[in-house]
A = this chain, B = another copy of it.
Amino acid sequence: MISSARPLRADAARNRELLLAAAEEEFAARGIDASIADIADRAGVAKATVFSHFASKEELIAAIVGNHFAELTVVARRLLTSADPEAALSDFLTEAAHGIKQQDLTFLRADDDSRVTELRNDLHEAVSALVDRARAAGVVRAEITGTDVFLLICAPVHIAGCHPDADPDLWRRYQAIIFDGLRPTRAELLPQPPPSWP
């Protein structure tokens, strides 16, 4: 693997960026099972070059996921300075729903002290701040926490992965929240006759 202590040579730095971009596209197109060979092909380098930049496939994924987390953290922190707490949270959810990828899953529960975990914690902190502000403004329910939203973003991805150790009760809670979104707004409610109407 190329040492990270010394700055990369010009061609190596270029190839690294090409590889990250190619891997991003390939993972987006074919999911986490995209092969290293295909990624190398797309980047226009040999397969062995991939392993000279990243020790393993997992490490390549970690680099990409780390970038996702970092980008979302930037978005969350920027939205924290906006005027409208409700729009800020809504905008972030929209952004995050598009930004979270399948491979990000792998590192959501990781608790080693890797760089990815650090970036994930940064993101979690920024999201919590967004939610705290929205809660203080009364635009989300009192019991909603930053962790809730952080997990809610990823819940769809979690369910899809058929994660065996996912807490069913937790998902039921999110299920109920989503169902709440289906209820009619107050303005749409027609006056209903009481059950004992003759």
Separation of A189 and B142 alpha carbons in the complex (Å)? 10
- B-facing residues in A52-103 (Cβ within 8 Å): 89-90, 93-94, 97-98, 101-102
Taking CB atoms and an 8 Å cut-off, the chain A residues in 154-198 that contact chain B are: 155-162, 164, 168, 171-172, 175-186, 188-190, 192
By the criterion CB–CB under 8 Å, are A184 and B139 in contact? yes
Copies of this chain, tallied across the complex = 2
Docked complex: A27-58 residues within 8 A CB-CB of B? 27-29, 31, 33
For residue A59, give the distance in angstroms from its CB to the closest CB of chain B.
20
* Bound CA–CA A97/B159 (angstroms): 8
Contact yes or no, B181 A94, CB < 8 A: no
The residue in A139, A142, A156 that gathers the most chain B C-beta atoms within 10 A of its C-beta is: A156
Interface residues on A, range: 35 or more
B97 near A175: Cβ-Cβ < 8 Å: yes
CB-contact partner of A164 in B29, B168, B185, B192, under 8 A:
B29
In contact, B33 and A162 (Cβ under 8 angstroms): no
Q: Is A151 an interface residue (CB 8 A)?
A: no
Using Cβ atoms and an 8 Å threshold, which residues of chain B touch A181?
Answer: 176-182
User: Does the CB pair B90–A140 fall under 8 Å?
Assistant: no
Whether B184 pairs with A138 at a CB distance below 8 angstroms is yes
| A14 close to B (CB within 8 Å) | no
Q: Residue A155 contacts which of B93, B156, B172 (CB distance < 8 angstroms)?
A: B156
In Å, the complex CA distance between A171 and B189 comes to 26
Structural contact, A183 and B28, CB atoms closer than 8 A = no
